[in-house]
Every structure is written in structure tokens, then in C-alpha cells.
A = this chain, B = another copy of it.
Amino acid sequence: MNDVDNILDFFIDNVKKLFFPEEWIKIDLKFSKYELFTMLFIDRKSEVTMTELVGYINCPMSTATGIVDRLVRNGYVSRSRSETDRRIVVIKLTDAGCKFINDLRDTISKYLKIILEDLTGEEKQFLIGIAFKIMNKLQTDINIMENTDEDKTVIKKIDIE
């Protein structure tokens, strides 16, 4: 109970670092979160259809079109029609897109190394063990929660004028 509160406070105090990385990492991100995760997804899959993209970033198709429009316009993503089915658009990372993702990975990796350099090999293994344990937990119990029609915390903007 008290441990959870401590961890919650720590989480809230530090999660800001993820949302505002420019404040502590030497990195200048000019992409929206949708654009960023789009490129990460393409990097992982190599070739992605718009429908797959929508399934991954979970936004309307028209939004996905806008996202890809911008990435194509700025040279990070290329777009072509599938020859198998001409309704399907295939999107890939350009050289510039690959470079951006590689640079991003290098930058994050650099900071991870600094963070981890004082840990012993045993501590690292332990940490990875905990990480995978948590990841498995996320895969299973959260899905169970989603399948029960539980009380839903709904926060909506209330226009008072």
C-alpha cells in the first residue's frame, strides 16, 4: 500500500521526462506523437498498410492519411500502391526515415547506458527479469480487466460558458 504510493509519486514526478524529452535529452523532436509512433511501427514492420497503421496507433483513417501525408511531404516515409490490390497503400521508411529512427535509438541508448553504467551485471539481470515479469503481467491481467465491464473513469471536458 505505502509502497504503491511511493511508486506512484515517483512515477508522477518523473513521467514528465518522457513527455518533454527536450528538457533533459539533447534531442529536438519535431514530430507529433502519432508521427513518431508511425515511424517506429514502420521501422519494426518494414512495410505497413494504412489499415495496419490505424490498428497500431488507433486513430481514425482520415487522421492516418494526414499523418502519412506529412511524413511523405517531409521525406521520412514513402507511399506506393500495392500491385496485388490497388486499393492498398504500402508505406515504408525512406533513407531519411531510417536515419532518424537509428539516430533516435542511438540517443536513447546513450542515455540508457549512462543510467545503467553503475548497475552490476546481476542487478541488470534482475531488472530485466522484473521487466519481463511486468510485461507478462500487462499482457494478461490488463486484458482481463478490459473484458469485465467495470466502472469506467470517464473524464470529459465540460464547457462552462
Which A residues form the contact surface with B (CB < 8 A)? 3-8, 10-12, 14-20, 23-31, 33, 37, 40, 57-58, 73-75, 96, 100, 103-105, 107-109, 111-116, 118-119, 123-124, 126-128, 130-135, 137-138, 141-142, 145-146, 150-161
Contacts and interface: CB of A to CB of B under 8 A. Distances in A.
A127 B18 CA distance: 19
B26 A150 contact: yes
A6 B113 CA distance: 12
A54 B125 CA distance: 40
Given A7-B131, A12-B108, 19 more contacts: A4-B116, A7-B128, A10-B128, A10-B132, A11-B108, A14-B135, A25-B142, A26-B152, A30-B156, A30-B157, A31-B157, A73-B159, A74-B159, A75-B160, A103-B155, A111-B142, A114-B142, A115-B134, A119-B130
Contacts of A123: 126, 130, 133
A40 B7 CA distance: 16
A24 B142 contact: yes
A5 B109 contact: yes
Given A16-B37, A24-B146, A113 B74 contact: no
